Structure 1
Amino acid sequence: MNYAIVFRLLSYILFCEAALLLLPAIASLCYGEWSVLGVFVLTAALCLVLGLLLRRIKPSSKVFYMREGFATTALSWVVISIMGAIPFVLTGCIPNPVDAMFETVSGFTTTGASILPAVEGLPKGVLFWRSFTHWIGGMGVLVFLLSLLPLTGGSHVNLMKAESPGPQVDKLVPKVQSTAKILYGIYFALTVLEFLFLLVGRMPVFDAMLTAFGTAGTGGFGFKNDSFGSLSPYIQWVVTIFMILFGVNFNTYFLLLLRRFRRAAASEEVRGYFLIILVAIGIITLNIHGMYDSLGVALRHAAFQVGSIITTTGFSSCDFDLWPTLSKEVLVMLMFVGACAGSTGGGIKVSRILILGKTLGKELKQALHPQVVAPARMDGKLINHETIRATNVFLAAYIFIFAASLFLISLDGFDMVTNFTAIAATLNNIGPGLNQVGPMMNFGGFSNPAKLVMIFDMLAGRLEIFPMLVLFLPDTWRKF
């Protein structure tokens, strides 16, 4: 393990967070929240000092391999979460450090699960920081640094593989640094576009910014206690559309920019993603239309919640915990499917679901006809053994963590639906679940140990599990 280069990268992370903390400080300044302003400035200064201390450790080599990539990624997310929780504690908004850590990790991992029973009374600066953590974590702070850092030894791609969601990371252009710039460019452009559409709907500037942050990062923190229930149908449709757009593989947008429309349309994952959405909306609309004044209203709520859950955003336009069992079952299944690989969404990912389905079909054919070669293909390309193995290992680790987490939080005594959907919501980075963690409820009733379990789940879900598990392997920390 090259400890010095890991510490050097952590110093860059702290410098970056110090700069980002100045934005909620500016929001506090604009609204005259002087004590809150002081807290954000103090936290930024603390990040800067710690970054300077780590910066003094000089690496003898800048070579950076996968082991350092996993360790740096996991430690970076832990560090930014700890530092990001400080303003919640010092302002008194969330005095319990575990609760503050839960809220911050939920923000950075774009989960949107909250321990707060009400948010409308929070200071504007705190509300800004709370939603801005979604935007920071959506694409990943390390992906942003990739476009700036001079690293060697395949370091850029090792960091991107460790942080970017999905079974594989493709370089859009020959240089990984350029790929990172393109990804953030698309991310920023879509965020601004949604912000403008929200302004057209006469949404206040501050509220439009928070909504755009949450939608872009597929986060879910709202600025109203009822999330989007009291907002206009226009706003709800705009958010629905952009939630779904942010769940698309960003490689597709790059191909569209290059006018490679045929190649973009050939993506089986993207086509499968939209097909799942359409089918789910259709089923839920027909199932709930009797609960609303018209089919159009039922369609709007169904589309909003399907888009929110499959992209793991976690916004709500109504209390879907009151829907019929069929509709809730569809939403729970969407929690596990998730969005596309290479998007800001969480979950298992549509690409993995397709790979598992194609692998199952291949095995069934070979069971019937042992002599027949039946290769599995995706987008016309052969799915290699390494991809299938990685998908199977991911699923095994996912099931193990899910089962262990479910057992541990069950000690709090909540019902099984609450526990099951709480783990599904945190491990898949969704936000709301059902029953005691439903869209109009919160996670505040869980004990501190249970919250720590779910904090780990949120980090593991955002980082595709392996970087967090690698931290517990002794070999990770040995010098070779």
Structure 2
Amino acid sequence: MIHFKAIGKILGALLMLLALLMLPGVGFSFYFESNDEVALLASAFISLSVGATLYFSFSKQDQNIRKREGYLIVSLSWLFMSIFGMLPYILSGSISSIPDAIFETVSGLTTTGATILNDIEATPKGILFWRSMTQWIGGLGIIVLTVAILPLLGIGGIELFVAESPGPTSDKLHPRIRETAKRLWFVYMGLTVLVGILYYVGGMTVFDAINHALTTIATGGFSTKNASMAFYDSAFIQYVAIIFMFLAGTNFTIIYFGLIGKFDRVFRSDEFKTYTLTIIFLAICFAFPIYHYSDQEFEKSFRDGLFQIVSLITTTGYITADYTAYHDGLTLIFFMMLFLGGSAGSTSGGIKFVRHLTFVKNTWLEFKRIVHPRAVVPLKINGDRVTGKIITHIMNFLLIYLMIFVIGSIILTLMGYDILTSFGAVATSLGNVGPGIGSVGPVDNFAFFGPGAKIFLSFLMLLGRLELFTILIVFTPFFWRAN
């Protein structure tokens, strides 16, 4: 039997926390006199009222959170956050259509970075800050934040942490799950503050530096400028963004071990080495073709190539150049990057390098097993043997991911969109990247999609952010059967 009252209590707590996170934007509204403070305050009040009603109605419920409740809470929490998170857009009039507001909110919370706004710079400053805040909230997940700072989840919090934390990783920084969540958030906040300071030193205004800091570490890609990072024609700012996008796409456990001096744990990670070497290899390979096809200096060609590679692989989605304008071959390779994803345990979306690494290694070893059928040939990652159960799980994930991409592309095509745009929109939404190819390229947006397509793409964003199984399992009949 599923404990719905306990679920209601936790959802109430999450909505109250969401309401509090809406309030910082009010300060920017007053400072810039953007006249959107009423919309933010009203949205916070509605979210707080509903949250408090849920929480105190079920305040006496125990926290017997099992796996089924954990998956249901995570799925419902993202649905609730999307619904209540769109209120500032609707109440301020910045976005008048509900499908548009849902799309923008889901894109923010899932750190996808796709937008329907045609003139970002005309958006009121308070709403613009909330837009960036949604990505920062979604970066490591509001569930992880709640596990870190609220005692109400008790030992059941581990089920929520496991259900939401992205990537197939079991690394823990501390035996107690709440301490692990706290340390992850300290790293997250520390990187946010540091990159914000560097952006300001590089020439951004305080407001722009804060917003870009929030969306860089979240690998979200929302910008306060219509031209994204291309607006800042500064090598310093763009290299800072490259470095911190790379860090945000790294397993935060690896970053933590690096900060405390345990470098052996860093260099023992096969995923981190593959992730780093892939970016270096692609950056070197792309520098010369981009220099050949563009009329600019070699350093700028190298920087543009590296920036786009890191931005797409980490699923951040910032742009400094139109990568579809170079050559069709380069466009195809950039499109394939939408399927990479950063590291497990990072804020990146996508498939994740550890899954690709497991697939490639297992495929290679399969040839050896065919030649030597009696030999025991174990698959190892980071020196540890990978069990057959994990390999099966990863193979199933890859197959389901590919099936969803194909079916999703067919659905969009049947809605009347061209095949290239359908491929690009589905790939970038499912991978939580932002820009794609076709009519959703790096210099385009998603405003032209109809209401049905926007809702469908929003669902794909949530599906990708929660690693497919967290949501899909809720739709299975045996999930609802009594124990």
* TM-score band w.r.t. shorter chain: over 0.9
Q: Tell me how far 1:242 sits from its aligned partner.
A: 0.8
Output aligned runs, 1:234-383, within 5 Å.
234-290=236-292, 291-383=294-386
Q: Tell me how far 1:154 sits from its aligned partner.
A: 4.9
Q: How many residues are paired up?
A: 479
The C-alpha deviation readout for 1:337-368, integer Å capped at 9, x for no partner, is: 11000000111000000111111122221111
Structure 1, gaps ≥5 residues long: none
Output aligned runs, 1:117-266, within 5 Å.
117-150=118-151, 154-231=155-232, 232-266=234-268
| Separation in structure 2 between the aligned mates of residue 115 and residue 249 of structure 1, nearest angstrom | 30
Among the aligned pairs, what percent are the same residue?
38
Give the corresponding residue for 2:407.
Answer: 404
| Separation in structure 1 between the aligned mates of residue 398 and residue 310 of structure 2, nearest angstrom | 24
> What letter corresponds to residue 126 of structure 2 in structure 1?
G
| Separation in structure 2 between the aligned mates of residue 2 and residue 478 of structure 1, nearest angstrom | 13
| Separation in structure 1 between the aligned mates of residue 478 and residue 11 of structure 2, nearest angstrom | 20
| Separation in structure 1 between the aligned mates of residue 48 and residue 153 of structure 2, nearest angstrom | 25
Output aligned runs, 1:23-102, within 5 Å.
23-34=24-35, 36-55=36-55, 56-58=57-59, 60-102=61-103
| Separation in structure 2 between the aligned mates of residue 367 and residue 449 of structure 1, nearest angstrom | 48
Note if contact 1:166-1:341 (Cα within 8 Å) is conserved in structure 2. yes
Give the corresponding residue for 2:392.
Answer: 389
The 3-state SS of whatever aligns with 2:338 is helix
Note if contact 1:11-1:50 (Cα within 8 Å) is conserved in structure 2. yes
TM-score between the two structures when normalised by the length of structure 1 = 0.97
Note if contact 1:191-1:216 (Cα within 8 Å) is conserved in structure 2. yes
> What letter corresponds to residue 237 of structure 2 in structure 1?
I
Note if contact 1:166-1:464 (Cα within 8 Å) is conserved in structure 2. yes
- 1:457 corresponds, among 456, 460, 463, to 460
Compared CA separation, residues 235 and 257, structure 1 to 2 (3 A):
closer
The 3-state SS of whatever aligns with 1:229 is helix
Note if contact 2:149-2:182 (Cα within 8 Å) is conserved in structure 1. no
Give the corresponding residue for 2:107.
Answer: 106
| Separation in structure 2 between the aligned mates of residue 332 and residue 156 of structure 1, nearest angstrom | 37
Q: Does 1:436 align with 2:448?
A: no
> What letter corresponds to residue 41 of structure 1 in structure 2?
L
Q: Tell me how far 1:240 sits from its aligned partner.
A: 1.2
Q: Tell me how far 1:247 sits from its aligned partner.
A: 0.5
| Separation in structure 1 between the aligned mates of residue 155 and residue 390 of structure 2, nearest angstrom | 20
| Separation in structure 1 between the aligned mates of residue 160 and residue 194 of structure 2, nearest angstrom | 29
Q: Tell me how far 1:199 sits from its aligned partner.
A: 1.2
| Separation in structure 1 between the aligned mates of residue 43 and residue 460 of structure 2, nearest angstrom | 26
The C-alpha deviation readout for 1:212-236, integer Å capped at 9, x for no partner, is: 1110100011111111112122211
Compared CA separation, residues 466 and 315, structure 1 to 2 (3 A):
same
Q: Tell me how far 1:401 sits from its aligned partner.
A: 1.8
| Separation in structure 1 between the aligned mates of residue 153 and residue 81 of structure 2, nearest angstrom | 24
> What letter corresponds to residue 300 of structure 2 in structure 1?
V
Structure 2, gaps ≥5 residues long: none
The 3-state SS of whatever aligns with 2:65 is coil
Compared CA separation, residues 233 and 320, structure 1 to 2 (3 A):
same
The 3-state SS of whatever aligns with 1:471 is helix
Q: Does 1:476 align with 2:461?
A: no
The 10-residue stretch of structure 1 (166-175 or 130-139) with the greater mean CA deviation from structure 2:
166-175
The 3-state SS of whatever aligns with 1:72 is helix
